[in-house]
Amino acid sequence: MSLLERAESVARTLSPIAAAGKPGEVNLALLEALASEGLLGEIFRRDGAGYAPTSAMALCLIREGLARHCTEAETAFALQGLGAYPILLAGQPAVVEEWIPRIAAGEVAVGFALTEPSAGSDAASLALSAVPDGSGYRLSGEKAFISNAPDAAVYTVFARTSDNGSRGITAFAVPGTGLGGSRQVLVSPHPIGRLVFDDVFVPSSAVLGDVDGGWKVAMRTLDMFRPSVGAFALGMGQAALDAAVAYTGSREAFGRPLRSFQAVSHQLADVATRLHAARLLVHDAAASYDAGGRTGHLSAMAKLFATETAQVAVDVAIQVHGARALEQGHLLEHLYREVRAPRIYEGASEIQREIIARHLYR
DSSP string over 310-346: HHHHHHHHHHHH-GGGGSTT-HHHHHHHHTTGGGTTT
- Tell me, what's the pLDDT at 86? 96
Shared-domain flag, residues 224 and 338: yes
- Tell me, what's the pLDDT at 171? 98
| 50 pLDDT higher than 80 | no
Condensed to tens digits (0 to 9), the pLDDT of residues 1-43 reads 899 999 999 999 999 999 999 999 999 999 999 999 999 999 8
CATH of the domain at 308: 1.20.140.10
Please identify, among 213, 237, 269, the residue that sits at the C-terminal boundary of a domain. Answer: 213
CATH of the domain at 131: 2.40.110.10
Condensed to tens digits (0 to 9), the pLDDT of residues 132-171 reads 999 999 999 999 999 999 999 999 999 999 998 899 999 9
Q: What is the mean pLDDT of the chain?
A: 95
Distance, in Å, from the CA atom of 322 to the CA atom of 330, rounded to the nearest integer, reads 12
- Tell me, what's the pLDDT at 98? 96
User: Measuring CA to CA, which residue among 2, 136, 107 is closest to residue 44?
Assistant: 107
- Tell me, what's the pLDDT at 329? 94
Shared-domain flag, residues 14 and 71: yes
| 123 pLDDT higher than 80 | no
140, 159 Cβ separation under 8 angstroms: no
Condensed to tens digits (0 to 9), the pLDDT of residues 174-208 reads 999 989 999 999 999 899 999 999 999 999 999 99
Shared-domain flag, residues 46 and 132: no
Q: What are the Cα distances from residue 206, in Å, to 37, 156, 170, 173, 312?
A: 31, 10, 10, 5, 43
- Tell me, what's the pLDDT at 278? 98
> Is residue 142 annotated as a catalytic residue, yes or no?
no
Shared-domain flag, residues 225 and 350: yes
Helix boundaries (H) for 184-261: 214-250
CATH of the domain at 48: 1.10.540.10
Condensed to tens digits (0 to 9), the pLDDT of residues 242-262 reads 999 999 999 988 999 999 999
Section 265-287 average pLDDT: 98
Q: Cβ atoms within 10 A of the Cβ of 249, count? A: 12
- Classify residue 316 as exposed, middle or buried by CB count within 10 Å of its CB (0-12, 13-18, 19+): buried
Please identify, among 79, 108, 137, the residue that sits at the C-terminal boundary of a domain. Answer: 108
Shared-domain flag, residues 13 and 121: no
Which of the following is catalytic: 42, 98, 346, 350? 346
What is residue 119's DSSP assignment? B
- pTM metric for this prediction: 0.94
Q: What are the Cα distances from residue 323, in Å, to 48, 172, 256, 307, 332?
A: 56, 48, 19, 24, 11
Domain that holds residue 242: 216-360
85, 225 Cβ separation under 8 angstroms: yes
At 326, which amino acid appears? L
What is residue 128's DSSP assignment? -
Angle between helices 56-69 and 214-250 (to 10 degrees): 40
Give the list of residues 6+ apart from residue 37 with CB closer than 8 angstroms, or none.
Answer: 10, 13, 14
Please identify, among 86, 108, 130, the residue that sits at the C-terminal boundary of a domain. Answer: 108
- Tell me, what's the pLDDT at 353? 97
